[in-house]
A and B are shown apart, each in its own frame.
Chain A
Amino acid sequence: MNRPLRRALSQSIVMLLLLAACSGGKPESAGKAAAVPDVPAYGDAVVEGSIGDISGFLSAVTSDAASHEAAGYVFNGLVRYDKDLKLEGVLARSWEVSPDGKKITFHLRRDVKWQDGAPFTSSDVMFTFQRMIDPKTPTAYGDAFKQVKRASAPDPFTFVAEYARPFAPALESWGMDILPKHLLEKYPDISKSPLNKKPVGTGPYRFVEWKTGEKVVFDANPDYFEGKPYIARVITRIIPDQATMFLELLSGGVDTMDLTPPQFARQTDTAEFGKSFNKYKYTAAAFTYLGFRLSHPFFKDKRVRQAIAYAADKKALVDGVLLGLGQEATGPYKPGTWAYNPNVRKYPHDPLHAKALLAEAGWKEKDGVLVKDGRPFEFTVLTNAGNEARAKTAAILQQNLAEVGIRMQIRTVEWAAFINQFIDKRDFEAVILGWTISPDPDQYVIWHSSMTGPKELNFVGFANSEVDKLLEDGRSTFDLEKRKKAYFRIQEILAEEQPYVFLYVPDALPVVQNRIHGIRPAVAGITYNFIKWYVPKALQKYRLEP
C-alpha cells in the first residue's frame, strides 16, 4: 500500500508519467452525500482501474507499477514511506543506525503472522536478503542489497545489516517486500514459484484470484497487524484504454482511477459528475525537462543553456500541456518535500534577457536566425513517440526558441529505439524526457560525473566537482539536516548550471467514487491510509458474503 516506495522501486516506468503519488490537496468537489451516519463500517468493495495487467506478485522480480501496487496489498517491507514521505517502520517496530553509520539494526514486530498462520520472524528477512543477492533471482533491485557486507539475525525478532561504508539510501531498500521463507525456500528461482501467481504475505489483503488480462481480487485480511481493513474486497480491473476506463467510471464499473488533465479539467466539470465523485489534485513525484548533450558545441556554454531557460515559457507549458494542472519546475526534487529547495535561481520567461545572453556568448542574429562562426543555431530535440504531453511540450518550446532566433527541429522516436540508439549511444543534441522523483533524494546516478558510462544515467554528461562531492556526502550520512544541506546546495548549482532546463511538475489527478469515505490527502497522496477507507453501511454498494 506504500505507493511512494513502490514508485521508487518501479523505476522502469520512470518516464511514463502515469503516476499517482502525490502531495497535499483537498477534494475538488465535496460530494453531497445523503444524510447518512458517517461512521466507519466494514464491508463493500472498491473497484480500481489499471491500465496494465500485472506480471507477478513478487515485487523483487517485477518492474511495472501495476504489479508493484498489487504486491503492496499482500506484502509488507520492514519500512515504508508515511504520509509525509518520511520512513516509518512496518514489519520493523523500530530501527537504529550505529554512530559510524555502517550498521542498521531492525527490531521486528512480534505480532505478525503470515496469511497461512505461520509466524513472521527474522529468518524471513534473512531469506529475502539472501534471495535478493542470489544470481538465480531475476531481480533488477539487487544492487542495494549487495552493499551489505554482513547480515545476521541474532534472535527471531532482530535483524542486523552491516555495510562497508555508511549508505543512507540503504534504509529505503529495506522497504522491499519480505518473503515467506517457509513457502519459498524449496524454489531456487522465486519467479517460477507458485507464490508469484498466488501470493501469501503479511499484508492487509489476501489474494483471492487473478484472471490474466481481466482482474485481480483481494479480500481483507482479518488478522492484519495494523487492524482489519474496512473495505472488504479490492478488485483491480485491467482496462488498457484510458477512454474506456473513464466510461467505466461514469457507468459505475470502476470506483477509482487517475484522470488525465483534459478529463480532470473539462470532461468532469459538471454538476452531475460532482454528485457521485470526489476529485483530488496533488503534486506528482515527477518532472519533465529539456536535457542537453553538454559536450555539444552549442550547449557547452552555460550562458546558452541559461538563455534557453529564459526563452522557455514555462507558464505556457503548464497551461498548454497540463491545462494548468501542475507547476513550473525549478530542480529535480518534488516541491513540498524536505529535500526541495525553493530558493534557487529562477528563469522567468524573458526573451530579451535570453537574446542578451546569447549575444554575449557570441551569437549574432542574421535573417531572424542566430549565427556563430558561420553556423546557424539549429538543433534537433528528441522525445519518445506516443507521449502526447511531451509532443505538445516540444511544439511550445519550438515556438519559444524561434522567438529568440533558435531553430529547433522535433523528432519523435519509439521508446526502445530512443533509449538504445540515441540515449545509450549519446547520439542526440537535446531531449525532452522526465524522471519520477524517488522519495530518497540521492540522485548520485543521475548527476555524478562517474556515471557517464554506457547505459549509465548521467547521459547529458554533467560534471561538476562540487556536486560530485555533495552527492557523495549526501548519501553517506543518515543525518537529515546534513543531507538537506547537501541537496539544497546541489539544487542551487543545478539551477545555475542548467544541465537540464527543468520544465514542469505535473499534478496527479485521482478520482474516487464518493460513497468511499476516510480519504485523507497528504504529501504522499491518498492511498497511504487505504486500510482506513470505508463506506458507511447505508451507502454500501456490493454485498459480500462474510
Chain B
Amino acid sequence: MLRYVVRRLMWAVPILVGISLISFLMIHMAPGGPISVGTDLNPKATAETRARLEAYYGLDQPIHVQYWRWLSRMARLDFGASFSPDGRPVAEKIRERIPITLTINVLSMGLIFLVAIPLGVYSAVRKGSLFDRISTVTVFTGFSIPTFWLALLLMILFGVKLRWLPISGIASLDYGSLGAMGKLADRARHLLLPVLLAGFTGLAGMSRYMRSNMLEVIRQDYIASARAKGLPERKVVFRHAMRNAVLPVITILGLSVPDLLGGSVIFETIFSIPGMGQLFYQGVMSRDYPLIMGILTIGAFLTLIGNLLADVGYALADPRIRPE
C-alpha cells in the first residue's frame, strides 16, 4: 500500500510539469497579453511604451525561456509576482482568498452531504412514492434554475423587502468594531444565503447518485437474505444497504478536493464574495500569467492528491479492490 502511494506521488511530478506546460502554452496563445489592459486602444501609449512594458515583464523573451524561468521559480515553490499593477506576490493573493472560499465550500458541501444522503436513501426506499416524486422535482429545480436569478430573487426578498439579511459582501461596514460573537454572527448572516443557495443548487447530483446506488444495492441478494432473516426494515436499510451504497461516495469526496479551493465566478460575483473564482477570472481577463499559472498549478496538484485519496480511501473501505 505504502509503495503504491509513493509510486503514485512520484508519477505526480511529471504529470504536474506536463499540465503546467500545456497551461502555459494555452494562456500565451490566447489573444492579448498582460500589457493589453493598459495599452490597447490607449491614445497615450506608443510603441515605445509597449516595448518598455514587455521588457519589464520579461515578455520580450522567447516563450521557452519564459516557461523555464517560471518552472525554475516554481521548483523553489516561488509563485512569482502578479502582473497586475500592484505587483504583489501571487502566493499572497491566493492565500488571502483561501479562507473565505474554503469556508463557503466546506459549509455548502457539508450541507449537501447532510441533506442529499438521507434524501437519496429515503427516495430509493420509497421509490415512486409522493415523497420521491416531490424530492425529485425539487432537486432538479435547484439543479436547473439559473443561480444568479434565484440569488437576486432571494436578495430582493430577504435584503430589500424584509431586511432580514445583508445583500452581498462578507462583512458589515462596522465589522472591525464588533466583538468576537458579534463578528461570528455578522459573518453567519452574510454567508447564510450563499451557502443555502450553493447547497440547494448542488443537491441534485449527490442525492440522485445516492438514490441510484441505493436502488442498486437494495436489489442485491444479501439484502433479500437480510430481510429473509427477519431483520426489521430499519436495520436492513441502514445497517446493510446504506453502508454499501455509501461506499462510492468516498470517490466523490476525493474528487471534490480541488473544488474546495475552486470558487464559482457567477456565484462570487453576484454575492460580491472576494474568493478564488473572482481572483482567477480577473487573472484570466487581464492575462495575469503568473497568477493564472499559480492557481492552475494548485488546482492540478489538488486534483492529483484528490484522486489519490479517493483510490486509497476506497481501497481501505473495500477489501476487494486493494492494490497488490
B interface footprint on A54-77 (CB within 8 Å = 1, 0 otherwise) = 011010011110010000000000
- Asked if A265 is at the interface of the complex by the 8 Å CB criterion, the answer is no
How long is the Cα–Cα vector from A47 to B155 in the complex, in angstroms? Answer: 19
Q: Which A residue sits closest to B284, measured CB to CB? A: A416
The answer to whether A214 and B48 touch across the interface, beta carbons within 8 angstroms, is no
A344 at interface (Cβ–Cβ under 8 A)?
A: no
Report if A383 contacts B (CB, 8 A).
no
Q: Which residues of B contact A415 (CB under 8 A)?
A: 32
Judge whether B212 is part of the interface by a CB distance below 8 angstroms: no
- B30 interfacial contact with A, CB 8 Å: yes
Residues of B within 8 A of A9 (CB): 44
Q: Residue A241 at the B interface, CB < 8 A?
A: yes
Contact B168 A420 (CB under 8 A): no
Query: With an 8 A cutoff between CB atoms, is B2 at the interface?
Result: no
CB–CB B85/A191 < 8 A? yes
Q: Tell me whether A420 and B31 are in contact in the complex, defined as CB-CB below 8 angstroms, given that A140-B39, A251-B163 are known contacts.
A: yes
Q: Which residue of A lies closest to B170 (CB)?
A: A214
Contacts of B56 in A (CB 8 A): 135-136, 138
Of B56, B93, B171, B271, the most chain A CB neighbours within 10 A belong to B56
A395 interface residue per 8 A CB criterion = no
Hey, which chain A residues are within 8 Å of B37, CB to CB? Answer: 12, 63-64
A419/B171 in contact, CB under 8 A:
no
Roughly how many angstroms separate A283 CA and B167 CA in the complex, as a whole number? Answer: 31
A-B residue pair count with CB separations less than 8 angstroms:
171
B244 at the interface (CB under 8 A from A): no
Are A240 and B272 neighbours in the complex by a CB distance under 8 Å?
yes
Q: Which residues of chain A have C-beta atoms less than 8 A from B129's C-beta?
A: none
B148 CB contacts on chain A under 8 angstroms: 241, 243
Kindly list chain A residues whose C-beta atoms are within 8 Å of the C-beta of B38.
12, 63, 140
The yes or no answer to B86 lying at the interface (CB within 8 A) is yes
In A184-226, the 8 Å CB interface with B consists of 189, 191-192, 196-197, 211-215
Is the Cβ of A457 less than 8 Å from the Cβ of B41?
A: yes
Q: How many residues on the A side are at the interface (Cβ–Cβ under 8 A)?
A: 65
Q: How far is the CA of A261 from the CA of B279 in the complex (A)?
A: 29
The distance from the CB of B267 to the nearest CB of chain A, in whole angstroms, is: 11
For the complex, give the distance between the alpha carbons of A455 and B86 in Å. Answer: 26
Indicate with 1 or 0, residue by residue over A230-247, a CB within 8 angstroms of chain B CB atoms: 000001011111011001
Considering the complex, give the chain A residue whose CB is closest to the CB of B270: A241
For residue B160, CB closer than 8 A to chain A, the reply is yes
Measured between beta carbons, the chain A residues less than 8 angstroms from B169 are 214, 237, 239, 253
- Determine whether the beta carbon of A253 is less than 8 Å from that of B168: yes
A47 to chain B, nearest CB (A): 7
Interface centre among A47, A53, A253 (most CB of B within 10 A): A253
Q: Given A14-B41, A140-B49, A455-B47, A416–B152 Cβ distance below 8 Å?
A: no
B32 is contacted by which of A247, A248, A420, A438 (Cβ under 8 Å)? Answer: A420
Please give the distance in Å from A227's CB to the nearest CB on chain B: 26
The interface residues of chain A lying within 8 Å CB-to-CB of B270 are 241, 243-244
Does B299 sit within 8 A of A, measured CB to CB? no
CA distance A140 to B55 in the complex (A): 13
Q: Do B87 and A191 touch (CB < 8 A)?
A: yes
Question: Which chain A residue lies CB-closest to B165?
Answer: A251
Binds B, one of A117-125, A141-149, A303-311, A498-506: A141-149
Q: How far is the CA of A308 from the CA of B259 in the complex (A)?
A: 52
Once the chains bind, are B168 and A12 in contact (CB under 8 Å)? Answer: no
- B141: chain A residues within 8 A (beta carbon): none
A539 within 8 A of B: no
Chain B proximity of A312: nearest CB distance (Å): 23
B84 touches A247 (CB 8 A): no
- Do A438 and B155 have beta carbons less than 8 Å apart? no
Q: Which residue of B lies closest to A253 (CB)?
A: B167
Whether B42 lies near A14 (C-beta < 8 A) is yes
Given contacts A239-B272, A244-B270, A416-B36, whether A11 and B86 have CB atoms under 8 Å apart is no
Tell me, yes or no, whether A15 is within 8 Å of chain B by CB.
yes
Determine if B86 and A241 form an interchain contact, defined as CB atoms under 8 angstroms apart. Answer: no
| B31 adjacent to A417 (CB under 8 Å) | yes
- Check A12–B31 contact: CB distance below 8 A: no
Given contacts A214-B170, A247-B155, contact A143 B48 (CB under 8 A): yes
Smallest Cβ-Cβ distance to A67: which chain B residue = B85
Closest to B46 in A: A143
Whether A239 contacts B168 in the complex (CB less than 8 A), given A56-B86, A63-B42, A138-B53, comes out as yes
A214 in contact with B44 (CB, 8 Å): no
B132-163 vs A, Cβ < 8 Å mask (1 yes, 0 no)? 00000000000000001000100110011001
In the bound assembly, the distance between CA atoms of A14 and B36 in angstroms comes to 13
- Give, as a whole number of angstroms, the nearest-CB distance from A495 to chain B: 21
Is A410 at the interface (CB under 8 A from chain B)? Answer: no
Chain B residue, CB-CB nearest to A138:
B56
Given contacts A67-B85, A192-B87, A212-B96, contact A12 B39 (CB under 8 A): yes
Instruction: Write out the residue numbers on chain B whose beta carbons fall within 8 Å of the beta carbon of A443.
Output: 43
Which residues of A are found within 8 Å of B46, using beta-carbon distances? Answer: 143
Sorted from nearest, which 9 A-B pairs have the closest CB atoms?
A: A213-B274, A416-B32, A63-B38, A420-B31, A140-B38, A417-B31, A62-B85, A56-B86, A56-B85
Q: Given contacts A138-B56, A238-B272, A244-B168, could you give 16 more A-B pairs where the C-beta distance is less than 8 Å?
A: A11-B41, A135-B52, A140-B39, A140-B49, A143-B49, A191-B87, A215-B173, A241-B272, A247-B155, A247-B167, A248-B167, A415-B32, A419-B31, A419-B40, A443-B43, A455-B47
B residues with CB within 8 A of A: 30-32, 35-50, 52-53, 55-57, 81, 84-88, 93, 96-97, 148, 152, 155-156, 159-160, 163, 166-171, 173, 268-272, 274-275, 278-279, 282, 287
Give me 26 A-to-B residue pairs in the complex whose CB atoms sit less than 8 angstroms apart, sorted by A's number.
A9-B44, A12-B39, A12-B40, A12-B41, A15-B41, A53-B282, A135-B52, A136-B56, A140-B35, A143-B49, A146-B48, A191-B85, A212-B274, A213-B278, A214-B170, A235-B173, A237-B169, A240-B269, A244-B167, A244-B168, A251-B159, A253-B169, A416-B31, A416-B287, A419-B41, A420-B31
